[in-house]
Amino acid sequence: MSRTRWQRKAPDFNWTQGDTAPAIAEQLFDGTGTAVNLSGATVKFQMAGPGQATAEVDATATITDAALGKVSYTPITADTDTIGVYMVQWKVTFGGGAIERFPNSDYQKIKIQKQVAP
C-alpha cells in the first residue's frame, strides 16, 4: 500500500505522551505569503488524527503578535495523552465573523510519542 504525501511528511512538532510543554508557536501567512493581521480576531488550535470526524483538541490559542500573525498554544495533559500522528490547523475567526484555517495549503503534522516511564 502506498502512503500519501502527508503520511510521508516529517512531523512539524513533537510531544511525548503527557507533555505540557513546549508551547507551539507559529506565524500565520495568507496564500500570497503575507503575514495575517489578527487584530480583532480569535484563534483556535485544532488537532485531529487522519480520518477522525471530530477534533482531538479544539482549544483557544494565544495571539502573541496580532499585526504579524503570531500565535501559540500550550498543551494540557489531556492533549497529549494518546500517542499517534495528528493533523494541526489554526482556525481564525476574524472580527467580522469570517473564518479561515491555516496553513491554507496543507496540514501541519504533530507526533505524540510514547513516554518511556510515567
Sketch the domain layout of the chain as residue ranges. Answer: 12-113
How many Cβ atoms are within 10 Å of 33's Cβ, its own excluded?
A: 6
Nearest residue to 88 (alpha-carbon basis) of 5, 4, 6, 20: 6
Q: What is the DSSP letter of 92?
A: E
CA–CA dist 50, 20 (Å, integer)? 23
What CATH code is assigned to 12-113?
A: 2.60.40.3350
pLDDT at 3 over 70: no
**What pTM does this model have?**
0.87
- Cβ-Cβ contacts under 8 Å for 10 (sequence gap 6 or more): 109
CA–CA dist 11, 81 (Å, integer)? 18
Task: Dump pLDDT digits (tens) for 36-75.
Answer: 999 999 999 999 988 888 889 999 999 999 999 999 999 9
